[in-house]
Amino acid sequence: DGRTVAALAAIAERGAPWRGPAGAGGHHNAGGAGGAGVGDGVDDAVGRLPATPIIRRMWDCEGPTDAYHLSMAVRVPSDARPEHLIAALQALTDRHDALRMRQTGDRQQRSLEIMEPGSVRVADCFTHQAVRIAGEAEWVPALAEASFRHQAELDPASGRTLQAVWLDPGPERPGRLLILLHHLVVDGVSWRFLLPDLARAHEAVAAGRRPELRAPATSYRRWARHLVEEAVEPVREKELEMWARTFDAKRPTLGTRPLDPRTDTMSSARMLLKDLPEEDTATLLAVPGALGVDLRDVLYASFAVAYARWRGEPDTGVLVDLQAHGREFLADGVDPSATVGWFTAQFPLVLDPGGITDEQLATSGAALTEAAARVGAQLAALPDNGIGYGLLRYLNPRTAPLLAALGDPQISLNYLGRFQVGERSALWTPTGEAGSAMGGGADLGTPLERTLTLTVAVEDRERGARLAARWIWPSGVLADDHAAELAERWSGVLRRYAAHARAARA
């Protein structure tokens, strides 16, 4: 709309102080807190709560989201009993309040509520399914079929954010417990707390004891209410100019046309799974020690280098949408580090590794190290790991429309970190039999948010660690061979980093 960055910043500076939840400036009840008493200092985990930025983002989706979920399949003991599994899952649900979240209202006036412990009956969300498994490979289709069938039973409006399926092959071998959780209540980090708690709860139940699970320091409801206050802090509003400048970068259209939410949905999505072999992954994991740069920065710099070559353009910067864990320490007494919920912070950033010639790519470890260091510096310059963008975009009524008018990047990058995919003998660990440690899915009619999405994780498996990459794009916008070429270029740059790390260690 022609507004300059300086004008945007000036509007934020002269705006009157704002009180209360962000109910203005959007078609949702952004606060949704009613009489929640924002900032009263009491950590009351139960009751209505405001939507966080990432949930507001989901609500902006024009299509269905009831089946939007994350999942994991874990090995359970061969002598497991359904009543023990149900009791362990019940203890988990009663302890972690986000798992009792309910989404109420219609598209124009949605709100959230954390229900009392015991209000979610896990027995109603649990399925005991006998399966015939002749070989380990047969788990893959069995889990895929169960996941697809039971995601349709998720219903956030009624508080059904959990579906658990025990695939029971009999007493001769460990079964699989498939856990589907609506994304509304969980993120990738949350599984690091949920699975150990589930194992402890089952051990107690099987021994005839009452499960005792430690409560997190801060409830999800308190965190959500704190974000409402944080979004209008003057120091946070000063970030507006920085975020607006991000969109000054040149943004050539990726693909043949812009996304159309009516046609570019999950049903039209194409996916490419491209793993880095164990040998290359092992060397890549040694890059931080050998070259002195972070693995995340290497992954992102490699994408930017590959993208510039793929497009054949001199501009080395690429505007992307990044994700961080979002569990930031923003105030004394508010510690979300061990809280279950959807905390993800999404933010735009121009990744600019600088120019690298073909000769430097092939021979110069110093040039690649500098590229990763540049990207690392760009990430490090963001206050609180980028959480402020979502606060200003979704929870501040003055800045929200200004940032919304700037649009969104066409590319999403997400490094999930490192996951332990259990050995065949390890119980209560992700099996990875669905192709990755953590699965997920959505309604087929859900619009795709980005023209290209790259999700990366390091998975520690029996034969060694593998870098697993998942590329997703709409078939009507980006040609399959073009996406595959970009994926191969990215893998090629990563292999060059690995080669330089080997040389540095030698």
State the DSSP string of 227-240: HHHHTT-HHHHTTH
452 within 8 A of 412, measured Cβ to Cβ:
yes
Predicted pLDDT at 33 = 36
pLDDT at 14 over 90: no
Residue 337 in domain:
no
Q: 3-state secondary structure string, 336-390?
A: CCCCCCCCCEEEEEEECCCCCCHHHHHHCHHHHHHHHHHHHHHHHCCHHHHHHHH
Q: What percent of the chain stands above pLDDT 70?
A: 90
What DSSP letter does each residue of 133-171 carry, written as one string? -SSGGGHHHHHHHHHHHHHTT-BGGGTB-EEEEEEE--T
Predicted pLDDT at 36 = 37
Where does residue 56 fall: left (phi above 0), alpha (psi -120 to 50 degrees), or beta otherwise?
alpha
State whether 194 and 271 are in the same domain: no
Q: How confident is the model at residue 34 (pLDDT cuts 50, 70, 90)?
A: very low
Residue 445 in domain:
yes
State whether 75 and 193 are in the same domain: yes
Residue 448 belongs to domain with CATH number = 3.30.559.30
Residue finishing a domain among 206, 227, 254: 206
Q: ∠59-163-110 over CA atoms, to 5°?
A: 20
State whether 173 and 274 are in the same domain: no
d(CA 380, CA 385): 7
Please give the tally of structural domains in the chain: 2
pTM above 0.85, yes or no: yes
Across 28-43, average pLDDT: 40
State whether 270 and 369 are in the same domain: yes
Return the sign of the alpha-carbon dihedral for residues 198, 203, 206, 211.
negative
Q: How confident is the model at residue 113 (pLDDT cuts 50, 70, 90)?
A: very high
d(CA 355, CA 335): 41
Most confident of 6-20, 41-55, 137-151, 376-390: 376-390
State whether 194 and 268 are in the same domain: no
d(CA 181, CA 98): 11
State whether 367 and 449 are in the same domain: yes
State whether 185 and 282 are in the same domain: no
pLDDT at 20 over 60: no
Across 301-320, average pLDDT: 91
Q: Give CA separation, 9 vs 4, 6, 220, 391, 409, in Å.
A: 9, 5, 31, 15, 21
Predicted pLDDT at 24 = 29
Domain extent for 124: 58-206
d(CA 171, CA 184): 35
Predicted pLDDT at 306 = 95
**Which H or E run contains 130?**
strand 126-130
State whether 202 and 277 are in the same domain: no
Smallest Cα–Cα separation from 236: which of 400, 406, 351, 49? 400
Residue 164, Cβ density class (10 Å: 0-12 exposed, 13-18 middle, ≥19 buried): buried
Residue 127 belongs to domain with CATH number = 3.30.559.10
Across 267-281, average pLDDT: 93
What DSSP letter does each residue of 450-473 carry, written as one string? -SEEEEEEEEEETTEEEEEEEEEE
pLDDT at 16 over 80: no
State whether 439 and 300 are in the same domain: yes
pLDDT at 336 over 80: yes
pLDDT tens digits along 446-498: 999 999 999 999 988 878 899 999 999 999 999 999 999 999 999 999 999 99
Q: Quote the mean pLDDT of the chain.
A: 88
Residue 212 in domain:
no
Residue finishing a domain among 184, 206, 228: 206
Across 9-19, average pLDDT: 33
478 within 8 A of 255, measured Cβ to Cβ:
yes
399 within 8 A of 393, measured Cβ to Cβ:
yes
Structure tokens at 418: 């490192």
Across 119-141, average pLDDT: 93
Predicted pLDDT at 249 = 74
Residue 143 in domain:
yes
d(CA 84, CA 74): 15
| Amino acid identity for residue 24 in this structure | A
Distance of CA 324 to the CA centre of its chain: 8
SS3 content of the chain, % helix, strand, coil (to 5): 40, 20, 40
Q: Are strands 111-114 and 47-49 parallel, antiparallel or unpaired?
A: antiparallel
Q: How confident is the model at residue 176 (pLDDT cuts 50, 70, 90)?
A: very high
Q: How confident is the model at residue 18 (pLDDT cuts 50, 70, 90)?
A: very low
Residue 243 in domain:
no
Q: How confident is the model at residue 289 (pLDDT cuts 50, 70, 90)?
A: confident
Q: How confident is the model at residue 136 (pLDDT cuts 50, 70, 90)?
A: confident
Lowest mean pLDDT among 33-42, 71-80, 196-205: 33-42
pLDDT at 217 over 60: yes
Q: Give CA separation, 219 vs 55, 96, 121, 215, 232, in Å.
A: 17, 8, 21, 9, 21
Secondary structure class of 324 (helix, strand, coil): strand
Lowest mean pLDDT among 169-173, 267-271, 304-308: 169-173
State whether 296 and 445 are in the same domain: yes
Residue 500 in domain:
yes
Predicted pLDDT at 314 = 74
Q: How confident is the model at residue 12 (pLDDT cuts 50, 70, 90)?
A: very low
Residue 117 in domain:
yes
State whether 269 and 190 are in the same domain: no
State whether 269 and 404 are in the same domain: yes
Name the CA dihedral angle for 208, 210, 216, 221, rounded to a multiple of 10 degrees.
120
